[in-house]
Structure 1
Amino acid sequence: MSEDNQIEIPQSFIALFIEPGRSKPAATRFFIAERYELCEDMANMLTQTAQEMLHGLGITEADVLQRCYLGLVAGDAVFSVAEAEWVVRRLAELSQWPQPLQLSAP
């Protein structure tokens, strides 16, 4: 991926890399773009799984989102806690579900 990549990264994702009291991200645009693509892909991949969980398990949308979050942060997670929360919030958006009020890790 080149530095002049034209991918548009949402401010909500860039904010994950801005430390409190700072105005610029603490990571390169290249790194943020790579992480964004991974997180966006995961949110899109989870949409069908989330629908299947909702209907197959007979649980609420909030429960589905919480279970997805727990899966994203389990064990040797690929995603940071902040990235996992972003993925789940994006999943809710893609599924046209209400945003989760709070996500909690074990």
Structure 2
Amino acid sequence: MSDDYQIPIPPSFHALHADARGRLQLPLAAFRARYELCEDMAQMLVERSQALHHDLGLAEDIVLSRTQAGLGSAEAGFSAAEAWWVTTRLAELLGWPPPAVLPPA
């Protein structure tokens, strides 16, 4: 069977869902779906984050910390590690310093 998946998944995301030996802890299809969800969320949050920063005058670190807190809530559907990854990816897309909070263990 051919694997036609074309989207490169960064090692930083793979690390969120891998055990100590680097093996995925969930099925490949679910892993890919989680990556696409997280990447899409980061992309969708760019404009809103810029607006909060420019229109309301919120500091970049405040915007990122609030974003991570919101994504990490039970209702959001992201694990704490995924919330951290989305926030870090968002900072990268915006050209902002990464969040000061370390990734969850």
- Structure-1-length-normalised TM-score: 0.87
> RMSD of aligned C-alpha atoms?
1.8
Following TM superposition, where does structure 1 have runs of at least 4 consecutive aligned residues deviating by more than 4 angstroms?
Answer: none
Tell me how far 1:103 sits from its aligned partner: 6.2
Contact 1:73 1:80 in 2 (8 A): yes
Instruction: Map 1:1-106; keep pairs closer than 5 Å.
Output: 3-19=3-19, 21-102=20-101
Segment drifting more, 44-53 vs 4-13: 4-13
Query: Gapped runs of 5+ residues in structure 1?
Result: none
Identity of aligned residues (%): 48
Measure the CA separation in 2 of the matches of 1:44 and 1:12.
Answer: 17
Query: Gapped runs of 5+ residues in structure 2?
Result: none
Task: Count residues in correspondence.
Answer: 102
Measure the CA separation in 2 of the matches of 1:75 and 1:39.
Answer: 15
- Structure-2-length-normalised TM-score: 0.88
